[in-house]
Amino acid sequence: MRNLAKVVVSACLIWSSTIIIVDADGATNNTQAGTVDDPVITKSYFDQNIQLKVAEELNKQSITEEKVKQLIASELGNGKSSPTTPTDTKPPTVSGVVSNDLTVLKLEPGQTLYGGAGTEIIVRTGKVTVVSSDENGLPDITSGKDIAAGSTVELNHMLIVPREGRGIKSDAKLKQDIYVMVRGTYLQLNADGSKVTP
């Protein structure tokens, strides 16, 4: 009985090894590494084919600074309100009021505060947005970032006006007290563009 079991086990082993050898021989084909038929690719194949295609697709989908400027110009040209001066596109000349110390001002709804070059502005209460005669905004010294025209200013952050034609504007719809601190030359305008006398 033991001999019969040994013979059966030996026959099974020989039979299974024959199948494995036949499958191994049958799996060979004449594919070359780096071709479409071979899923494993070489570095040179990647560099020559796939990397170029990826770069082409990225170039098609990427947006350039010039495209962004064109989009902004087209949106402003479609009759949407521009975050510039309330009466015309020419920035007002900031002259008259000069404060060497920090002066507290109250902005009424719809009023705009323009600063001269180097003027410091700190918004203490209320909601204001940046206005500018061009696409540039105001540097926020506290956060170390530029605030784009039309963006909201965070409270208690120091802004410095780099050149005339830039400042802040209170929201005409919000009926809340807005207090700002200013140091330097400034011009405060009403919603209709008239000058606010101190």
Question: Given this model, what pLDDT does residue 53 score?
Answer: 72
Residue 71 lies in a domain: no
Does 151 map to a domain? yes
In a domain, 166, yes or no: yes
**Rounded Cα gap, residues 175 and 178, in angstroms:** 9
**pLDDT tens-digit series, residues 90-142:** 555 555 567 678 889 999 999 999 998 899 999 999 999 999 888 888 999 99
153 falls within a domain: yes
Range of the domain at 170: 97-189
Q: Is residue 107 part of a domain?
A: yes
Distance CA 188, CA 20 (A): 91
In a domain, 177, yes or no: yes
CATH (domain of 172): 2.60.120.1030
Cα–Cα distance for residue pair 77/88, rounded to 1 Å: 14
The 10s digit of each residue's pLDDT in 18-59 is 655 555 545 555 666 656 666 666 677 667 777 677 667 656
Q: Give the pLDDT score at 48.
A: 73
**Nearest CA to 105 among 32, 183, 1, 181?**
181
Q: Count of domains in the chain?
A: 1
Give backbone dihedrals phi and psi of 184, rounded to 5 degrees, phi first.
125, -165
How do beta strands 158-160 and 145-147 pair?
unpaired
Q: Is residue 169 part of a domain?
A: yes
The answer to the question of residue 8 being in a domain is no
CA–chain centroid gap for 51, Å, is 27
